[in-house]
Amino acid sequence: MKIRLLAITALLTGLVCLAAPGRLSADDACQKDIVETAVEAGSFKTLVTAVKAAGLVETLQGEGPFTVFAPTDEAFAKLPKGTLEALLKDKQALTAVLTYHVVSGKVMAADVVKVDSAESVQGESIQITVKNGKVKVNNANVVKTDIVCKNGVIHVIDAVILPPAGGR
């Protein structure tokens, strides 16, 4: 559980760094924990709400390093109707989804493109593909990379990735 909480913290920190280039400089973001960074970014409100609902705030204020594939508010809005609401009511499922977005270690974009999968903190593998210079994690496009933060690195994605049904 401690690893999951740390992963969530890294996810939030990365999200803020990635989503708020106009609000935070890279130096500012790297000095803040994941939760503070996510809150200040302004485009990860849904993620922050989910982290609070999962009880992962303290964990996400811990150390990393972690690599976070961070979905924006717009990414959460693309989920099928009722999915987010159902997750917010099911702490175990919500935690699984959030930790599925986190990989242990600091994996920069130059390294991500060299692998075809990575094990998430949740325990299931995330598929990584590169086509025509574009990187995808599962069905999500990576839209911003290498946001270096206090607890790791964030890569912003345009969709929420869901662990396989029947996963760990």
Q: How does residue 43 score in pLDDT terms, banded at 50, 70 and 90?
A: confident
pLDDT number for residue 97: 96
Q: Tokens at residue 8, please?
A: 């969530």
Give the Å distances, CA to CA, from 87 to 51, 95, 106, 160.
11, 9, 28, 12
Q: For the chain, what is the total number of helices (H) and then of strands (E)? A: 9, 7
Distance of alpha carbon 88 from alpha carbon 76, whole angstroms = 12
78-125 tens-digit pLDDT: 999 999 999 999 999 999 999 998 888 889 999 988 999 999 989 999
CATH, domain range 2-157: 2.30.180.10
- The whole-number pLDDT of residue 167 equals 57
User: What predicted TM-score, i.e. pTM, was given to this entire model?
Assistant: 0.80
Give the C-alpha separation, 149 to 126, whole Å.
Answer: 22
Average pLDDT, the chain: 80
Domain boundaries, the chain: 2-157
